[in-house]
Amino acid sequence: METVFGLAGSHWALFGAGLAFIGGAIGSSMAIAYVANVAAGVIAEDSEKFGRVLPLVAMPGTQGIYGFITAFMVWIFFIQEPKLLDNPQVGFQVFFACLPVAFGCLFSGIYQGVAGTGAAALVGKQPESSGRALILPALVETYAVLALIVSVLLLLTISGRL
């Protein structure tokens, strides 16, 4: 069996899928924890603000979803059709196609959490600014979406679907 650096194509594909999910999950988990910490303080001061800070807490969860989508696409396109992975270089390409989501969602998730803490603090002081406050961490989301688009396009290209 042919390998690239000692791993078969399916191993590389699974490694990439796992890394994409893990990066998104770590980024989302850390970010949600950051924002929830500040949001809990805001809610402790005024429980009526729960509905205003909840979207800020939930927003960074999307990075984990993007990692899941990427991992699922690898499973659908490559693990379900293992003939594509007979060539270990294809598996290596799949691994690299997963990296934009793995790293993009890891870092954008963390920094979206940082932006979300400021937004939650703003809502705590000025509840009428909750709509504007939501825009601040949403700007960071742009880069997670771009990472997902790049990974999806690469996976579609490698699988011959694009």
Predicted confidence (pLDDT) per residue in 7-39, tens digit: 888 999 999 999 999 999 999 999 999 999 999
Cα separation, 1 vs 85, in Å, equals: 11
Q: Band of the pLDDT at 86, cuts 50, 70, 90?
A: confident
**CA nearest neighbour of 148 among 70, 42, 81:** 70
Q: Give pLDDT, residue 81.
A: 78
Cα separation, 31 vs 65, in Å, equals: 14
SS3 107: helix
**CA nearest neighbour of 13 among 89, 65, 74:** 74
- Compute the mean pLDDT over every residue in the chain, rounded to the nearest whole number: 95
Cα separation, 8 vs 52, in Å, equals: 49
159 phi-psi bin (left φ>0, alpha ψ -120 to 50, beta other): alpha
Range from 2-16, 20-34, 102-116, 134-148 carrying the lowest mean pLDDT: 2-16
Q: Are 109 and 144 in contact (CB under 8 A)?
A: yes
**In the Cβ-directed half-sphere of 35, how many Cα atoms lie within 13 Å?**
33
Amino acid at 16: G
Task: Give the pTM.
Answer: 0.93
The tokens of 143 are what?
Answer: 């880069």
Cα separation, 161 vs 152, in Å, equals: 11
Which domains are present in the chain?
13-158 (1.20.120.610)
What is the Rg, in whole angstroms, of the alpha carbon atoms belonging to the chain?
A: 19
